[in-house]
């Protein structure tokens, strides 16, 4: 199979679709891998690394896309990249199409692309094997992001997350007790913050309560509970996820207006449209804005700035599915693996993910 690894073109996206080790494994099985020049530099992989692994370096993005039967990316294709895709290809990446412009979906349909979103690959028990390590990384990053945004020089309230003897710590509210929310709760409790973790699943809250030895305060995320906790939150983190769908709004503008001035909102659901009504996508170049007197951080690809770690992490998790496609071909791979099949958004010019039929895309 011919496989293309283009350079990512979205702002501040430093990750790459496949590591040199992945290339080496594919080349050893007789596949041809075309890597665009400079594709791995952000993650610390040189063109020489890829050449030594058995890849061919190509110098135009059109070639990285055009030669491939299978395109391995990180981020959703831009409008320009959609033009470079050719009919009938398979595309794998963190696509988040439910929050994409409709034109992106239509381009994939027009070219009959089999578009597999890593974030939608799902086991029978609901586990998201490729998304999980990225959520773990993002959850652990949140402490450094939140601590920085609370500083006076960043416009924050001048609060130290941990507090000091005689001065209480920051109050951190996390909505969503999935992988990201749980990892964030563990990280914030680890530095001494007071953590409130909300989720609609009581069994999940009981599980997290045990995992964290009671160090986080757990609450069911009824609307009245959300209204209550946002009023005193120094940091509010949205970590709501419905795989393959737009995130629901759980924090309204009215709730944001009730927050203390210069508090911080970090909407980690922004790659699926956001779970806070006042959120809008930002970037690492300009990560924050102030709305209703509250600092908002809404960077969709937050883990991209730890590109070496997160490229290895999601490649490790995605590898069995990539290998299945390259060994069996896309038809047989989807037939053999239900988890992989759940990741399909579009195929043969048709929408497979129901959320793409009803979502109000941006």
Q: Residue 164 has what DSSP assignment? A: B
Opening angle at CA 228, ends 225 and 234, nearest 5? 120
Separation of alpha carbons 50 and 66, rounded Å: 19
Sign of CA dihedral 117, 41, 311, 185: negative
Residue 332, SS3 per DSSP: helix
68's CB contacts (< 8 A; 6+ apart) are: 2, 3, 4, 34, 89
Asked if residue 155 lies in contact with residue 290, where contact means CB atoms within 8 angstroms, the answer is yes
Separation of alpha carbons 217 and 185, rounded Å: 10
Instruction: Compute the half-sphere exposure of residue 362: CA atoms within 13 Å on the CB side of its CA.
Output: 13
Q: Which two tokens stand for residue 304?
A: 């991209």
| E strands, the chain, in order | 2-5, 32-36, 56-58, 70-75, 90-94, 114-117, 171-175, 194-199, 217-220, 235-238, 264-267, 288-291, 294-297, 344-347, 350-351
Nearest residue to 312 (alpha-carbon basis) of 98, 10, 13, 18: 18
Other Cβ atoms closer than 10 A to 80: 9
Nearest residue to 96 (alpha-carbon basis) of 128, 69, 68, 65: 128
Separation of alpha carbons 114 and 88, rounded Å: 7
Opening angle at CA 114, ends 111 and 115, nearest 5? 105
- In the residue annotation, 125 being an active-site residue is answered as no
Residue 15, SS3 per DSSP: coil
Separation of alpha carbons 203 and 126, rounded Å: 14
Q: Residue 248 has what DSSP assignment? A: P
Q: Which of 49, 96, 125, 222 is catalytic?
A: 96
Q: Which of 199, 234, 267, 271 is catalytic?
A: 271
- In the residue annotation, 271 being an active-site residue is answered as yes
Q: Which residues are catalytic?
A: 96, 271
């Amino acid at each position: 199979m011919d496989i293309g690894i283009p350079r990512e073109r979205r702002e501040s996206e430093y990750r790459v679709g496949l590591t040199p080790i992945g290339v080496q494994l594919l080349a050893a099985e007789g596949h041809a891998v075309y890597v665009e020049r400079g594709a791995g530099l952000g993650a610390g992989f040189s063109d020489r690394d890829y050449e030594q692994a058995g890849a061919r370096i190509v110098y135009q993005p059109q070639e990285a896309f055009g030669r491939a039967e299978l395109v391995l990316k990180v981020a959703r294709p831009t409008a320009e990249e959609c033009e470079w895709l050719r009919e009938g290809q398979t595309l794998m990446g963190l696509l988040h199409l439910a929050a994409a412009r409709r034109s992106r979906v239509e381009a994939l349909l027009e070219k009959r692309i089999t578009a597999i979103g890593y974030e939608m690959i799902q086991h029978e028990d609901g586990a998201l094997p490729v998304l999980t390590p990225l959520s773990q990384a993002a959850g652990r990053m949140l402490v450094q992001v939140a601590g920085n945004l609370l500083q006076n020089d960043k416009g924050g309230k001048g609060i130290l997350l941990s507090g000091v003897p005689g001065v209480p710590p920051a109050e951190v509210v996390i909505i969503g007790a999935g992988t990201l929310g749980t990892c964030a709760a563990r990280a914030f409790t680890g530095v001494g913050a007071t953590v409130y973790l909300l989720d609609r699943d009581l069994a999940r809250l009981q599980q997290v309560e045990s995992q964290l030895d009671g160090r986080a305060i757990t609450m069911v995320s009824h609307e009245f509970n959300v209204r209550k906790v946002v009023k005193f939150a120094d940091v509010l983190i949205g970590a709501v996820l419905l795989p393959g769908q737009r995130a629901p709004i759980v924090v309204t503008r009215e709730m944001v207006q009730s927050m203390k001035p210069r508090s911080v909102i970090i909407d980690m659901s922004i790659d699926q449209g956001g779970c806070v009504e006042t959120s809008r996508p930002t970037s690492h170049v300009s990560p924050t804005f102030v709305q209703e007197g509250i600092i908002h951080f809404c960077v969709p690809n937050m883990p991209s700035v730890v590109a070496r770690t997160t490229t290895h992490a999601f490649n490790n998790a995605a590898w069995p599915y990539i290998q299945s496609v390259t060994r069996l071909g896309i038809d047989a791979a989807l037939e053999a693996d239900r988890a992989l099949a759940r990741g399909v958004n579009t195929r043969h010019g048709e929408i497979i993910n129901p959320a793409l039929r009803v979502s109000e895309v941006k």
